[in-house]
Amino acid sequence: MLENEEVIEGWVTNAKVVGRIAFLEVMDDLLLKPVTVVVKKDEVEDEVWRAATSIKLGSAVRVEGVKPERVVSRKGREFHARALQVLAEPVDLLPIDPTGKTPASPEAYINYRYLALRLPRYRAIFLARSTLMSLTREYFHSKGFLEVNTPKIVGAGAEGGATLFVVEYFERKAYLSQSPQLYKQMLMCGVPRVFEITPYFRAERFSTVRHLNESWGLDVEIGFVDGLEDVLGVLDDYIRYVTRRVNEELGSILREQGFNLLPPIKKIPRYTYHEVIEILKGLGFNVRVGDDLDTQAEKVLGDYLEKQGVYAYFITDYPWEAKPFYIMKSEGGLSKSFDLDIRGIEVASGGQREHRYVELLSNMREKGLNLEDFAFYLEAFKYGMPPHGGFGLGLDRLLMTLLGLHNIREAVLFPRDRFRLVP
């Protein structure tokens, strides 16, 4: 290779020949714009010219050549080929148009995700996902949290028995973990701050655009809290951080791809559950006090607040009956709990936990749980369990609301729902 020569490797997404020049668009690296490879008949060996003019769309290629000093192509990067090697040709017609001009069905984009990833739109989604994951880790490491990994094969569920996938575990029955709730709380008896990026497995027969049976979450737990505010503060700061950084790092390319990108979030306003009920009533929407907010109520509220420029908001102080056993009770049948909603979609749930052994037992009895199943968990509350709180946040949902996607399936490479187990 000559001194100023370079090599690019990727897939041919478009090709045309104009007289004695062939133009090949090659999707290389992780960038969103293809490189335009220019092959001039008069400058290359016959063999290279023949390969360039007979190339099948979708082929994997290696091109040797030079980048011109001044990029003239309107489309962006340009590359002048000296040598061209076809490494693999498609043996069948491509199920997704490599030029992106003819849209495929939503199913095709999932079934052939690897091909969709050659298109700028899907590249952009998963580039944003990768960025979100790394910003999340960076944020919590910088705040002195310990990153942990808790078991995904478990003996008891945290959120109720009906939604557990059963696993054969030698002579016993086990389950896939719905959330690290019990484990992250037990850790509070030995570590002051933890976070985990983890799958959640939930066996509900969902049929919505924002539920999957396997989803990814961010779990955070903080010890020695003085109240709910300490937990809200961390989540508020994290959301501000990731929305700002995603906008800074990927804002222009995401908007160019047509995503309705969530702007950087400033301080997140708080509404109590009762205030939300009143707002909803004012909008002619009735919610029975005591119920969790359903999808429709969340959407009506989200649309109403978005009109006022509020994209993200906390809803606090839910009735205890609508929340799980580990949430601390507060006055008047309420609880030290909250949800974070973004654009009318629940993205996180959290609260202060009941850390007092006796009160915890009584909460569990009230929810009708079998205490024996939870013996390993309860044990940790006997040895100096500090006041603590935290949250579980759906990373697929956060990505969905960040990019303004209409279906969570677009935010996940190989989604798992009731009807989809492959690929």
> Under the rule (CB under 5 A), what is the footprint of Mg ion?
349
CB of 351 to ligand ATP, least distance (A): 10
- Per CB under 6 A, the segment of 9-17, 80-88, 208-216, 241-249 that binds ligand ATP is 208-216
What CA–CA distances, in Å, run from 33 to 1, 65, 77, 187, 416? Answer: 26, 18, 8, 46, 30
159 binds, among ligand ATP, Mg ion, none (CB under 5 to 8 A by kind): ligand ATP
- Per CB under 6 A, the segment of 309-317, 341-349, 351-359, 363-371 that binds ligand ATP is 341-349
Cα angle 314, 158, 143 (rounded to 5 degrees) comes to 50
125 binds, among Mg ion, ligand ATP, none (CB under 5 to 8 A by kind): none
CB of 237 to ligand ATP, least distance (A): 18
Q: Which is nearer to ligand ATP, 112 or 126 (CB)?
A: 126
Tokens, residue 233: 């503060």
CB of 289 to Mg ion, least distance (A): 18
User: Of 182, 216, 224, 11, which is closest to residue 97 (Cα–Cα)?
Assistant: 11
Q: Which is nearer to ligand ATP, 212 or 268 (CB)?
A: 212
CB of 135 to Mg ion, least distance (A): 23
CB of 280 to ligand ATP, least distance (A): 17
Three-state SS string over the chain comes to CCCCCEEEEEEEEEEEEECCEEEEEEEECCCCCCEEEEEECCCCCHHHHHHHHCCCCCCEEEEEEECCCCCCCCCCCEEEEEEEEEEECCCCCCCCCCCCCCCCCHHHHHHCHHHHCCCHHHHHHHHHHHHHHHHHHHHHHHCCCEECCCCCEECCCCCCHHHCCEEEECCEEEEECCCCHHHHHHHCCCCCEEEEEEEEECCCCCCCCCCCCEEEEEEEEEECCCCHHHHHHHHHHHHHHHHHHHHHHHHHHHHHCCCCCCCCCCCCCEEEHHHHHHHHHHCCCCCCECECCCHHHHHHHHHHHHCCCCCEEEEECCEHHHCCCCECECHHHEECEEEEEECCEEEEEEEEECCCHHHHHHHHHHCCCCHHHHHHHHHHHHCCCCCEEEEEEEHHHHHHHHHCCCCHHHHCCCCCECCECCC
Q: Tell me if 185 contacts ligand ATP by CB under 6 A.
A: no
CB of 396 to ligand ATP, least distance (A): 5
243 contact partners, CB below 8 Å, separation of at least 6: 262, 263, 264, 265, 402
What is the number of the residue whose Cβ is closest to ligand ATP? Answer: 394
CB of 190 to ligand ATP, least distance (A): 24
392 binds, among ligand ATP, Mg ion, none (CB under 5 to 8 A by kind): ligand ATP
- Restricted to residues 159-178, the positions that interact with ligand ATP (CB under 6 A) are 159
Q: Tell me if 215 contacts ligand ATP by CB under 6 A.
A: yes
Q: How many residues bind ligand ATP (CB under 6 A)?
A: 18
User: Of 260, 228, 235, which is closest to residue 128 (Cα–Cα)?
Assistant: 260
Of the residues 35, 127, 186, 347, which one makes contact with ligand ATP according to CB under 6 A: 347
Q: Which is nearer to ligand ATP, 118 or 202 (CB)?
A: 202
Q: Tell me if 405 contacts ligand ATP by CB under 6 A.
A: no
Q: Which is nearer to ligand ATP, 118 or 336 (CB)?
A: 336
Of the residues 11, 140, 200, 325, which one makes contact with ligand ATP according to CB under 6 A: 200
- Restricted to residues 11-70, the positions that interact with ligand ATP (CB under 6 A) are none
- Per CB under 6 A, the segment of 21-29, 53-61, 212-220, 257-265 that binds ligand ATP is 212-220
Of the residues 337, 349, 352, 363, which one makes contact with ligand ATP according to CB under 6 A: 349
Q: Which is nearer to ligand ATP, 77 or 397 (CB)?
A: 397
Q: Tell me if 397 contacts ligand ATP by CB under 6 A.
A: yes
Q: Which is nearer to ligand ATP, 26 or 347 (CB)?
A: 347
Q: Which residues in this chain contact ligand ATP in the complex, by CB under 6 A?
A: 159, 200, 202, 206, 211-212, 215, 217, 346-349, 392-394, 396-397, 408
